[in-house]
């Protein structure tokens, strides 16, 4: 079911284009946070007037009208923030629209999927935090970096935080829900494009590796996350359990080091339309044989004649 928006997007953004109105939203957010009970979360017109720097009640009335309906809601116990108003205040507080993340160039323990070198460097290149291989110039992984995520963390902690967040977002998207907006996602596989270094504004990408991508795209905001099929499978319970039995916790492997584990895997597309894949997971002398269908459902399968060559 769609939600009916009460304002056009340009009207909504225009309503926020005034310092006093943003202050009103912050004042309402503080009142809600300080309230002891739900009944006390709203502020009356007079209470707002006392808390903001404004010359006349008619001026405040004018500005509240601009916010009413979209960012604030009038009720018998006063004015309150709507969900949209609450989100605006959080974005303002966390610097989403006003701050730039800071992140120093940092050498990183990990492995390049293209040349196997361990010369990885992480760097912020607005708007993305990128991990590149300095030996072969391949982009290993990219993350979006909200300004708040770079605060009060060491560079390694920033990277770990981004990695955990993107794992989580990717996992949600693969299960049908966009982490950005909550919209419905569609999951598909596609053949990987040839390497393209200035590519992807998308999370969890590892440019340069051959093969197939597992893509989750949001129908509502069109945010798209993707990773090689092997990366998606590395965090599947069957594969996590396979590694666990050999003393490796695969669930904690960061995206910039998955190449260490994927080197010997084999991926074959065994049919098209719909796509079906046979994947052989390899670690030391052990093997796990998987079948993956076009909806990315995974099952364990017995090895076949092709597998014995692997």
Among the candidate windows 63-71, 87-95, 130-138, 246-254, which touches Zn ion by CB under 5 A?
A: 130-138
In the complex, minimum distance from the CB of residue 134 to Zn ion, in angstroms, rounded to a whole number: 8
Q: Is 280 in the site for Zn ion (CB under 5 A)?
A: no
In the complex, minimum distance from the CB of residue 126 to Zn ion, in angstroms, rounded to a whole number: 22
In the complex, minimum distance from the CB of residue 23 to Zn ion, in angstroms, rounded to a whole number: 30
CB closer to Zn ion, 138 vs 189: 138
From residue 205 to residue 244, the character string flagging contacts with Zn ion as x (rule: CB under 5 A) and all else as - is -------------x-xx-x---------------------
| Segment 137 to 166, residues that bind Zn ion, using CB under 5 A | 138
Three-state SS string across the chain, please?
CCCCCCCCHHHHHHHCCCHHHHHHHHHHHHHHHHCCCHHHCCECHHHHHHHCCCCCHHHHHHHHHHHECCCEEEECCEEEECHHHHHHHHHHHCCCCCCCCCCCCEEECCCCCCCCCCCEEEEEECCEEEEEECCCCCEEEEEECCHHHHCCCCHHHHHHHHHHHHHHHHHHHHCCECCCCCCEEEEEEEECCCCCCCCCCCCCCCCCCCCEEEEEEECCCCCEEEEEHHHHHHCCHHHHHHHHCCCCCHHHCCHHHCHHHHCCCEEEEEECCCCEEEEEEEECCEEEEEEECCCCCEEECCCCHHHHHC
In the complex, minimum distance from the CB of residue 137 to Zn ion, in angstroms, rounded to a whole number: 7
Q: Is 176 in the site for Zn ion (CB under 5 A)?
A: no
Token pair for 82: 């709507």
Q: Is 7 in the site for Zn ion (CB under 5 A)?
A: no
CB closer to Zn ion, 220 vs 245: 220
Query: How many chain residues interact with Zn ion (CB under 5 A)?
Result: 16
CB closer to Zn ion, 112 vs 239: 112
In the complex, minimum distance from the CB of residue 226 to Zn ion, in angstroms, rounded to a whole number: 14
Contact between residue 206 and residue 113 where contact means Cβ atoms under 8 Å apart: yes
Q: Which of 70, 108, 178, 262 is the binder for Zn ion (CB under 5 A)? A: 178
Q: Is 136 in the site for Zn ion (CB under 5 A)?
A: yes
Q: Which of 27, 48, 108, 114 is the binder for Zn ion (CB under 5 A)? A: 114
In the complex, minimum distance from the CB of residue 203 to Zn ion, in angstroms, rounded to a whole number: 13
User: Residue 24: which of 54, 55, 58, 56 has the closest Cα?
Assistant: 54
Angle ∠(26,28,34) on CA atoms, nearest 5: 100
Among the candidate windows 126-134, 149-157, 165-173, 268-276, which touches Zn ion by CB under 5 A?
A: 126-134
CB atoms under 10 Å from CB of 280, counted, come to 19
Q: Environment class of residue 310 by beta-carbon count within 10 Å: exposed (0-12), middle (13-18) or buried (19+)?
A: middle
Contact between residue 207 and residue 137 where contact means Cβ atoms under 8 Å apart: no
Q: Is 112 in the site for Zn ion (CB under 5 A)?
A: yes
Q: Is 183 in the site for Zn ion (CB under 5 A)?
A: yes
Q: Is 172 in the site for Zn ion (CB under 5 A)?
A: no
Among the candidate windows 32-40, 141-149, 180-188, 295-303, which touches Zn ion by CB under 5 A?
A: 180-188
Among the candidate windows 17-25, 88-96, 102-110, 128-136, which touches Zn ion by CB under 5 A?
A: 128-136
In the complex, minimum distance from the CB of residue 91 to Zn ion, in angstroms, rounded to a whole number: 16
Interface residues with Zn ion (CB under 5 A)?
A: 112, 114-115, 117, 133, 135-136, 138, 178, 180-181, 183, 218, 220-221, 223
């Amino acid at each position: 079911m769609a939600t009916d928006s009460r304002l056009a997007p340009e009207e909504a953004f225009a309503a926020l284009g005034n310092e006093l109105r943003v202050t009103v939203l912050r004042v309402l957010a503080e009142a809600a946070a300080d309230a002891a009970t739900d009944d006390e979360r709203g502020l009356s017109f007079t209470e707002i007037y006392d808390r903001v720097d404004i010359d006349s009640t008619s001026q405040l009335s004018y500005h509240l009208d601009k916010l009413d309906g979209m960012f604030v809601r009038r009720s018998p116990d006063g004015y309150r923030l709507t969900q949209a108003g609450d989100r605006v205040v959080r974005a303002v507080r966390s610097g989403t629209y006003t701050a730039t993340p800071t992140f120093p160039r940092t050498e990183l323990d990990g492995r390049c999927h293209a040349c196997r070198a361990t010369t990885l460097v992480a760097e912020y290149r607005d708007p993305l935090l990128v991990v590149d291989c300095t030996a072969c110039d391949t982009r290993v992984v990219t993350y979006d970096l909200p300004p708040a995520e770079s605060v009060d963390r060491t560079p390694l902690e920033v990277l770990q935080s981004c990695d955990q967040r993107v794992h989580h977002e990717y996992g949600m998207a693969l299960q049908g829900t966009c982490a950005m907006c909550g919209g419905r996602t569609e999951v598909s596989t596609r053949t990987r494009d040839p390497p393209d270094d200035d590519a992807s504004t998308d999370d969890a990408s590892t440019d340069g590796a051959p093969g197939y991508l597992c893509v989750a795209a949001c129908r509502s905001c069109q945010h798209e996350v993707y990773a090689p099929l092997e990366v998606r499978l590395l965090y599947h319970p069957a594969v996590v359990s396979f590694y666990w039995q050999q003393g490796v916790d695969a669930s904690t492997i960061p995206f910039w080091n998955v190449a260490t584990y994927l080197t010997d895997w084999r991926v074959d597309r065994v049919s098209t339309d719909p796509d079906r894949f046979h994947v052989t997971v390899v670690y030391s002398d052990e093997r796990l044989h998987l079948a993956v269908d076009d909806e990315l459902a995974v099952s364990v399968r017995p090895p076949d004649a092709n597998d014995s060559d692997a």
